[in-house]
Amino acid sequence: MDDVVDVAVVGAGPAGSAAALRALQLRPDARVLLVDAAEFPRDKTCGDGIAAHALDLVEALGVPGVSRLGPPVPRLRLRSPGGRVVERTCTRPNRVVPRTVFDSELVAAAVARGARLLRHRVRRLDVRPDHVVLDGTVAARVVVGADGANSTVRRLIGAPIAAPSATAVAVRGYARTAVDPDTLVIEFARGPYPAYAWSFPLPGGGANVGFGVFDKRGSGSRAELVAAMRALLPGHEPDPASVRGHHLPLSTGPRHHPDGRVLLAGDAAALVNPLTGEGIFDALASGVLAGRAALLGAAAGAAHRAAMRRTFERHHAHGAMLARLLRRPRFLDAAVLAAARRQSVFDAAVDLGLGRGTAPLHALARVAIAYASPHRRAPSSP
């Protein structure tokens, strides 16, 4: 095993492709291997929403033109469990791009830059003093585990198992019609755990529709989740053949970024937003950080942990705090009412839910006012 690559990335989704792209952006001569069990293009259970925040990261990686893959969706509408509604135009439009298309574009960009793509399912990992061996055949100075929610790499390096309260469960399907072709639509459900249905308009018509529960204890069967989706999105039935289920490891779960030559990024690092279920931004951002750290050899783990803390600590702390509050339906009603009254509150919520924003004091104050006087009418204002 004389041929040791510089970086082996397990998983070629957004986190893995971002890691490969960033490593090659910094060191064009680096030997980077992308390892994935699937053949691309491949489907991925997801809402297919690509936030403007995520597109910024893709552009910074030197992959121009990704926004052409889906038309702009300028508006966002959200209905709370108590029937409060906010519908506003986002500061920058988001897009809806099927993951079969989006992920393939990123993989192709990484390969064009010099990464080698290997179709292989990783089952074993052997950490040695100066390199890591995958399945006895692939040797790399650093391995990036970006292999998703059921990450083999995460399990093999002894990461703790997330509690049910830090695991969301969702189903997704494709419908022939969209609730609104210009709007990302989110309908929160009544119940003991935060949950919502979504309808995201697809390029060319139709919609990605789904239903997710932000606590595994409240998930139920796939049939029950589809029934909940149907109740909140009447008339927008998904094709039964397109319905898929998925677990989402939320960022409220335990962190695991040990020293050494094995790094975690994306869903493998449990980075899904606990307020929205969005994971593509965090996948890309953590992949970028992993790609940079991976060039440091034995120092990679410590560097990646420090970079992740600097980048995400405040965002994750604010998200965890608000996720606890969202378990109270009245709080969510107040948050939606405050966002309907003030564009600045709406913008802060979008940044927190789709990027790595925080909850500014002025927004929290507005939510507190709405919470204290939920029935007082107030006109929306800029």
Are residues 24 and 121 both part of a single domain?
yes
Position 208 in a domain: no
Does residue 41 share a domain with residue 130?
A: yes
Spatial distance between the Cα atoms of 133 and 138, rounded to a whole number of angstroms: 5
Q: Is residue 76 one of the residues assigned to a domain?
A: no
pLDDT of residue 57: 97
Number of independent structural domains in the chain: 2
> In this predicted model, what pLDDT tens digit does every residue of 271-280 receive, in sequence order?
999 999 999 9
Q: What is the pTM of this model?
A: 0.95
For residue 233, is it within any domain?
no
Which amino acid appears at position 263 of this protein?
L
**Residue numbers of the domain that contains 272:** 5-57+97-163+253-317
* Residue 242 belongs to a domain: no
Domain shared by 278 and 332, yes or no = no
What is the sign of the dihedral through the CA atoms of 202, 219, 268 and 348? positive
Same domain, 103 and 147: yes
Token pair 């960033």: residue: 22
Q: Which residues of the chain fall short of a pLDDT of 70?
A: 1-2, 374-382
Residue 66 neighbours by CB under 8 Å, 6+ apart: 50, 55, 58, 59, 97, 102, 105, 106
| Structure token digits, residue 181 | 């072709």
CATH number at residue 290: 3.50.50.60
Co-location of 268 and 342 in the same domain:
no
Residue 140 buriedness (CB in 10 A; 0-12 / 13-18 / 19+): buried
In a domain, 296, yes or no: yes
**Residue where one domain finishes, among candidates 293, 317, 341:** 317
Instruction: Give the residue among 290, 269, 261 at the shortest CA–CA distance from 19.
Output: 290
Strand (E) or helix (H) holding 352: helix 343-354
Running DSSP on this structure, what letter comes out for residue 374?
Answer: T
What pLDDT sits at residue 196? 97
pLDDT of residue 182: 95
Q: Where are the beta strands (DSSP E) in 21-161?
A: 32-36, 49-50, 72-79, 85-96, 116-119, 125-127, 132-134, 138-145
pLDDT for the residue numbered 58 = 97
**HEC sequence for 38-59:** CCCCCCCCCCCEECHHHHHHHH
Q: Report the run of H or E that residue 353 belongs to, with start and end.
A: helix 343-354
- Residues 102 and 20 grouped into a single domain: yes
**pLDDT tens track for 309-349:** 999 999 999 999 999 999 988 999 999 999 999 999 999 99
Same domain, 101 and 134: yes
Beta pairing partners, 139: 4, 133
Confirm whether 350 is domain-assigned: yes
User: Which pLDDT belongs to residue 381?
Assistant: 45
